Chain A
């Protein structure tokens, strides 16, 4: 058994008492192994971004976290801020959506890269600049030395995201948290960034947490995938298993929604209803009000062994009723 790089154990997030104390994330557990690209999929509001921010300890002050986030033998949630700051940008890097906004508009990318490098290395300014050139070259930016003097607004979104990735890896990260890194980019650029992340992970053995709402994209890139719904994980599995044989009715719905370009003109069935708002989660299975196979018993607490290779949070999954209903749903909607 390979020891995981990052191990999230029973992570719970809620608003502080003075903000109403609403729960935002409950009992999230998963592992990311060395060199693995782990996908976290879900709709907006499902808690994907909060999970990554919690691991970075960058949550807004109004949100409190319980549980454990183990990295390098230490629990990140209880680490002193000083030590956490040493990890951020060095062992753990993070890239965000909206790359143009994520870069400081008033500093050249060279100045921003040099700061990121010098935050974790005792480099002279000149040496840090050389390292910045190497990093830009590594993420595929042509003429890197000349580009050091450019401002973010002089770059395209895709180029900004490459710079962002270079900055996140400036300290020699072993784990990269990528929060919807391609969402605001056009499809061809999206593909380039995904390929870049895949290449960096393979060549440098960097583990990646790839957060996205796009199951098709995640399936192409990731080794294993976890599906989040209403603040909890509902299914975990290898990319193949999850796509070929989704167990949870929600995952089945998501898989149905992935566009198939060989069937142009066919409108695919979505998932009826909308996800519940945080704080309004139903008891037991949270997907139950939108589920086609809901039955008596769904109101009971559902559990999931999500640190294993294949797990689902649905007591009916795998049963005859479950697969039959899924098949019916498939026929009805396609």
Chain B
């Protein structure tokens, strides 16, 4: 008899332990990147006309004159305490700015993910059940279109049609929830739909192929031979197996949605992490870029942690 099936919590503990070195490696990379900026971070930030004295002052202030390992450990220690320092361009508290903006980006990503799943999984299942007939061809065709269209282009089309021509949704900006949740949600419809389009198309494809594989399996034939109802076979016995590869894909998609949010936020002027990052990059505000990159790494690592846990919940064979 094979080894026993470990509990979910054992899996969670092991994966959490594996997260720590990943995050540390990420911080080394980010720190290293800022170090190799040609000419130095302070010179770049101040521009070519800056006097040597101004550069020296900024270098001192940024702590760039200290030994590298001291700089790194100092940055890491402060980051662990939640202090990411101050922006070199406008002196604002970066941690505070991130905590103000991160929730909106997370909200946008999660709404887009939810939409993509709600559209993608049922369509993928429908397509697989109707393998090789018109419904399947239609779904596959539409999802192909969704995959082929770049998000920024869909964003511009959506703004043009739904915001400017039809006036159903605001074109730009997101009022905060305190000003009324209706306006808040309404303003997020276009950005999240835009963001979700590519993801939904990908989820349709992966759900379809996962379902087709499950439906042609020996265990589904067994289920038919046992006289189970088609609904139970499709949505219970086949779908659970089809979801296993899908969970990994959903993890990757969530990460790319989070990254894609940066682009979509710029188009729709959503005051999230993305607009903050774009502004910081344009202004050569390295401390802010560094901090946002760190937050992104932590978010991505957390997503992959959730994926591992999701796989362990769905597939008993991975709980070893």
User: Quick check: which of B40-48, B194-202, B222-230 contacts chain A, the rest being far away?
Assistant: B222-230
Bound Cα distance from A224 to B7, whole angstroms: 50
Chain A proximity of B11: nearest CB distance (Å): 15
Flag the segment in B61-69, B72-80, B236-244, B281-289 that touches A. B236-244
Say if the beta carbon of B5 comes within 8 Å of chain A.
Answer: yes
Q: Is the CB of B5 within 8 A of A168?
A: no
> Is B226 a contact of A88 with CB atoms below 8 Å?
yes
Quick check: B221 and A89 within 8 Å, CB to CB?
no
**Roughly how many angstroms separate A111 CA and B222 CA in the complex, as a whole number?**
14
Given contacts A101-B219, A155-B1, whether A106 and B226 have CB atoms under 8 Å apart is no
* Segment at the interface with B among A90-98, A295-303, A315-323, A324-332: A90-98
Q: In the assembly, what is the distance between CA of A101 and CA of B217, in Å?
A: 8
Which of chain B's residues have a CB closer than 8 A to the CB of A164?
222
* Closest A residue by C-beta to B226: A89
A residues 217-256 with Cβ under 8 Å of B? none
Question: Which chain A residues border B5 with CB–CB below 8 Å?
Answer: 151, 154
Cα–Cα distance between A303 and B268 once the two chains are bound (Å): 79
Contacts of A89 in B (CB 8 A): 225-228
Are the C-beta atoms of B228 and A96 separated by less than 8 Å?
no
A93 CB contacts on chain B under 8 angstroms: 225-226
| Docked-complex contact A103 and B222, CB < 8 angstroms | yes
How many chain-B residues does the 8 Å CB contact rule pick out? Answer: 26
Question: How distant is A57 from chain B, measured CB to nearest CB, in Å?
Answer: 9
Contact B223 A104 (CB under 8 A): yes
Instruction: Establish whether residues A101 and B218, one from each chain, have CB atoms under 8 Å apart when the complex forms.
Output: yes
| B232 CB-CB contact with A under 8 Å | yes
* Residues on A with beta carbons closer than 8 Å to the beta carbon of B232: 115, 119
Determine the residue in chain B with the shortest Cβ distance to A103. B219
A56 to B2, CA, bound (A): 33
Task: Name the CB-closest residue of A to B225.
Answer: A94
CB contacts (< 8 Å) of A88 on chain B: these are 224-227
Residues of the B chain whose Cβ atoms lie less than 8 Å from the Cβ of A101: 217-219
Given contacts A98-B218, A151-B5, whether A105 and B225 have CB atoms under 8 Å apart is no
- On whether A107 and B224 interact (CB within 8 A), knowing A119-B229, A151-B316, A154-B1, the answer reads no
Please measure, in the bound complex, the distance between the C-alpha atom of A93 and the C-alpha atom of B224, giving whole angstroms: 11
Determine if B100 is an interface residue (Cβ-Cβ < 8 Å).
no
The A-contacting residues of B in range 145-184, CB under 8 angstroms, are: none
Is the beta-carbon distance between A56 and B316 smaller than 8 angstroms? no
Residues of the A chain whose Cβ atoms lie less than 8 Å from the Cβ of B226: 88-89, 93, 115-116, 119, 167-168, 170-171
21 residue pairs bridging A and B, Cβ less than 8 Å apart: A56-B225, A87-B227, A89-B226, A90-B227, A96-B218, A101-B219, A103-B222, A104-B219, A105-B241, A105-B317, A106-B241, A115-B228, A116-B226, A116-B228, A119-B229, A151-B317, A153-B316, A153-B317, A155-B1, A155-B2, A171-B227
- Counting from the closest, the 6 A-B pairs by CB-CB distance are A89-B227, A88-B227, A89-B226, A101-B218, A104-B219, A94-B225
